[in-house]
Structure 1
Amino acid sequence: MKKILSTIPFLLAAALLFPLTVSSQNFYKEKVSRNQYYQVGLGLGAMYADNSGRIRRVEVKTGPSVSFTYGRKIHSHIDLRGNLGYQRTQSQDQDYFSTQVIEAWRTSGQALASKNNQVYLDLMPTLHIIGSENHTQRKRINLYMGTGFGMLLNLNQETRLESNGPETSNNSMVVGYIPVRGGLSYKLNLYTDIAFEGSILLTFSDKLDGNEGFNRFNDHPVAGQIVFRHYINPLKGYD
């Protein structure tokens, strides 16, 4: 009986200290900043190109656009991110263009139509307008933007008008580009953001669509995506 009574104070002390220990562990868990994140984006893409139509009037055809990103904070306002993405674009229908334009393309051997599958990879620093030292200090709404350098693999099917009718050919090329990307993010919870993100890939080529010189500039893929971003805990054993 005496042994049982002597253990009661120890049990009471353990019961009192246990909640404090759990609270201390949770505090330490959130004190360590989650400086790394991954994100997944899904949306629509198009391309500013010679045979794609007028992009300013949104007279272009769109296709699916997906992206996968890994990022790491290197400053309270800046992170460094790598982006891997894919999008599909295509030209306008033949009846969109005048007969004079079609005839000029036929005589010069330019592609009247094209379907493009584009895979891109880039690295870029991103500036967040409102900075934070810790993931727990993120503001509810934030703006971000950035630029960098990347490489794009363009796999396309081109259609040209020959003397015996339309002829198609498959082509591929790798071209460098400068990505310009920005977005508006909203904090869903302590570890997750949702954002609307837009991007334009300023390529160094005017031949992505098989048609060259009709527009003033090179061919530039564009995209708008809904993005889900999740901050990663560097400590093992925690979610």
Structure 2
Amino acid sequence: MKKEIIITTLALFTGFLCSNTLYGQNFYKEKISRNQYLQAGLGLGAMYADNSGRFRGLEVKTGPSVSFTYGRKIHSNVDLRGNLGYQRTQSQDQNYFTNQVVQSWRENGQAVGSKNNLIYLDMMPTLHIVGSTNHTQRKRVNLYLGTGLGLLFNLSEVTNLSENGSERKKRSQAVPYIPVRGGLSYRLNLYTDIAIEGSVLMTFSDELDGNVGFNRFNDYPVSGQIVFRRYLNTIKSVD
């Protein structure tokens, strides 16, 4: 009986030591903040452009929008991120516009239609409303907003009208832009967030759709996405 008590006591003591060792390792692992993350987003996009339709009334055509992001925290409230994305947009149908508008475009050599494949790359600091010094301390819900500089590549097909009918031309161009991007994030678990994110790419060109001067501003691609963000463990020796 005495032997059984000694064995049981040793087993409990050993289990206690192992438990504390594992807890200590886990505590050490989480004490080192995960300051880098990867993010992927999927959603829909459109473009504010001369032949895209009435944007204020949401009478525009939408297309797929995807993005990939690498970010790194540089302050408790600020991270620096690089974004790579793709968006497809197209103009409204020709019969959406009045005959007078279409005739004016034909006479001035402006495109009545366009299909655009937009590839964009930008860098931007992002401000998080609620800051945190460690990934374990971040709030369940947070707001963020940022702006920066980027370059957009547009591979498009535009349609012009002439006396001989319609003519389609393929074009390519690269234009700089200022991204304005913000979102509302929700913490799913210790390492993962989900967010609703919106972007406006304020380009320095009014020629993305092959039509110039019909609207007040330049051509601005916009998108809304659902994104998943994963905080990275850079300490390879710690599981």
CA distance in 2 between counterparts of 1:18 and 1:230 reads 30
- Corresponding residue for residue 3 of structure 1: none
- Corresponding residue for residue 45 of structure 2: 45
CA distance in 2 between counterparts of 1:57 and 1:133 reads 43
- Corresponding residue for residue 4 of structure 2: none
CA distance in 1 between counterparts of 2:185 and 2:192 reads 10
Matching residue's letter, 1:231: Y
CA distance in 2 between counterparts of 1:226 and 1:8 reads 54
- Corresponding residue for residue 91 of structure 1: 91
- 1:53 is displaced (CA, Å) by 0.6
- 1:8 is displaced (CA, Å) by 10
- Corresponding residue for residue 27 of structure 2: 27
- 1:162 is displaced (CA, Å) by 1.1
What secondary structure does 2:37 align onto?
Answer: strand
- Corresponding residue for residue 198 of structure 2: 198
- Corresponding residue for residue 74 of structure 2: 74
CA distance in 2 between counterparts of 1:227 and 1:81 reads 14
Q: Normalising by the residue count of structure 2, what TM-score does the alignment of the two structures yield?
A: 0.94
- Corresponding residue for residue 172 of structure 1: 172
- Give identity over the alignment, percent: 70
CA distance in 2 between counterparts of 1:207 and 1:28 reads 55
- Where do residues 30-179 of structure 1 align in structure 2 (5 Å cutoff)? 30-179=30-179
- 1:159 is displaced (CA, Å) by 0.3
CA distance in 1 between counterparts of 2:12 and 2:36 reads 41
Provide the aligned length of Structure 1 versus Structure 2.
234
Matching residue's letter, 1:88: R
CA distance in 2 between counterparts of 1:171 and 1:104 reads 22
CA distance in 1 between counterparts of 2:231 and 2:237 reads 15
CA distance in 1 between counterparts of 2:48 and 2:177 reads 14
What secondary structure does 1:101 align onto?
Answer: helix
Matching residue's letter, 1:68: F
CA distance in 2 between counterparts of 1:58 and 1:238 reads 50
After superposition, give the CA deviation of every residue in 1:65-96 in whole Å (9 maximum; x if it has no partner).
00000000000000000000000000000111
Structure 1 regions of 5+ residues with no counterpart? Answer: 1-6
Runs of 4+ more than 2 Å apart: 7-16
CA distance in 2 between counterparts of 1:208 and 1:59 reads 19
Are 2:226 and 1:231 equivalent residues in the alignment?
Answer: no
